[in-house]
Amino acid sequence: MSGQARPLRAGLIGLGAMGRNHARVLSNLDGVELVGVVDPAGDTTGTLSVPVVPTVADLLAMGVDYAVVACPTALHEHVGLELAENGVCALIEKPLAQSVETATRLVEAFESRGLVAGVGHIERYNPALQNLRTRLENGELGEVFQVVTRRQGPFPHRIADVGVVMDLATHDIDLTSWVTGQEYTSVSARTVSRSGRLHEDMVAAVGQLANGTMVNHLVNWLSPLKERSTVITGDRGCFVADTLTADLTFYANGAIDTEWEALRAFRGVAEGDMVRYAIPKREPLLVEHERFRDAVEGKESDIVTLRQGLRTVRVAAAVLQSASDGSTVRVDLAEPVDKAAFNTIG
């Protein structure tokens, strides 16, 4: 589609909270025309200036180059396969699917047809994390020892088909691998369900990356405090990224020893300078759409591929297995994709 004169024709599937944000961005995206929307839940009362049609088939009949899939996770496979079978590119909201098997089928459907497809892991486009990744790549932290994420807040009543691991923890799993450039090798987790729902609403997970880096994730839907924090500690200090505000702060290990002997023996490292970086802050969702538009047009573009989305689902499935049987689970991300995504260590 390189050199395409006309705007790309885009469709949207799903008019929930995230779907309406996609509609807002698509309606003002350069080089793209939002031509129609379908909501599998039956919402045809939107205030959009484009037609809201009842089925995906109706949307396809309008002639779309790509579609954004923002319907419930349980519907991703059915909708995604229909798009792939009709030769339509797709940006699918995260998680890619609710199981390794369904995610694998989506990967194969789009890859076998040579279609551009991506997963909406929006944290990759957060200014703080993008800046942090560049600094890690430049060696500013030295060896990375630990990645700690905290993601908590009130229960979102719109989520009914998956628990907090697939809905929220997949953010942290993806961003951790992406920021560090390392894959997970094992996970151990515990979950609870306190809100009376079928699925878990709190998880604590410990993991290890391929280079030995320790990972900790605390995620829940049970807190009135909304928090989105990523802390990466290494031999030169630690970075703290707040993805709610897109702020990035660096706490350096100090070069000056303390003269207080008892304190020096206890601390292990010395306090150094604290730097809060000034970062240009563009809306992550807009950047995500720009990158995907460019990919559909055949330009070089950094998108989250379906295969990367599948790898995140594999790790999330390992977290759920660990919580279920109390084991530490080795994450098997070897290619080619097979059904044995993980196995128990002990």
Express each pLDDT in 101-139 by its tens digit. Answer: 999 999 999 999 999 999 999 999 999 999 999 999 999
pLDDT for 190: 97
pLDDT for 136: 97
pLDDT for 342: 39
What average pLDDT does the structure give for the chain? 90
What does the pLDDT average to over 169-195? 96
- The answer to whether the CB of 187 falls within 8 A of the CB of 315 is yes
- The SS3 assignment for 298 reads coil
Q: Which is more confident, 96 or 162?
A: 96
pLDDT for 197: 77
Q: Is the pLDDT of residue 343 over 60?
A: no
Q: Which is more confident, 291 or 44?
A: 291
What does the pLDDT average to over 144-156? 93
pLDDT for 186: 97
Q: Rounded to two decimals, what is the model's pTM?
A: 0.89
pLDDT for 156: 72
User: In the chain, what percentage of residues exceed pLDDT 90?
Assistant: 79
- The answer to whether the CB of 296 falls within 8 A of the CB of 324 is no
pLDDT for 160: 63
Angle between helices 100-112 and 76-85 (to 10 degrees): 10
pLDDT for 265: 56
Measure the CA–CA gap between 264 and 181, rounded to whole angstroms: 34
- Phi then psi dihedrals of residue 271, to 5 deg: -70, 135
Token reading at 61: 């009949």
> Could you say which of 3.30.360.10, 3.20.20.60, 3.40.50.1010, 3.40.50.720 is the CATH number of the domain covering 8-121+285-304?
3.40.50.720
pLDDT for 161: 74
CA dihedral 95, 96, 100, 103 (to 10 degrees): 170
pLDDT bin (cut points 50, 70, 90) of residue 266 is low
Token reading at 201: 């609403």
Measure the CA–CA gap between 61 and 34, rounded to whole angstroms: 14
- The SS3 assignment for 41 reads coil
Q: Hey, where are the domains in the chain?
A: 8-121+285-304, 124-281+315-325
Q: Is the pLDDT of residue 307 over 70?
A: yes
pLDDT for 39: 83
Q: Is CATH 3.30.360.10 correct for 124-281+315-325?
A: yes
Segment among 72-76, 88-92, 299-303, 337-341 with least mean pLDDT: 337-341
pLDDT digits (tens, 9 = 90+) for 239-254: 999 999 999 999 998 7
What does the pLDDT average to over 196-216? 93
214-220 vs 144-152, strand pairing mode: parallel
pLDDT bin (cut points 50, 70, 90) of residue 262 is low
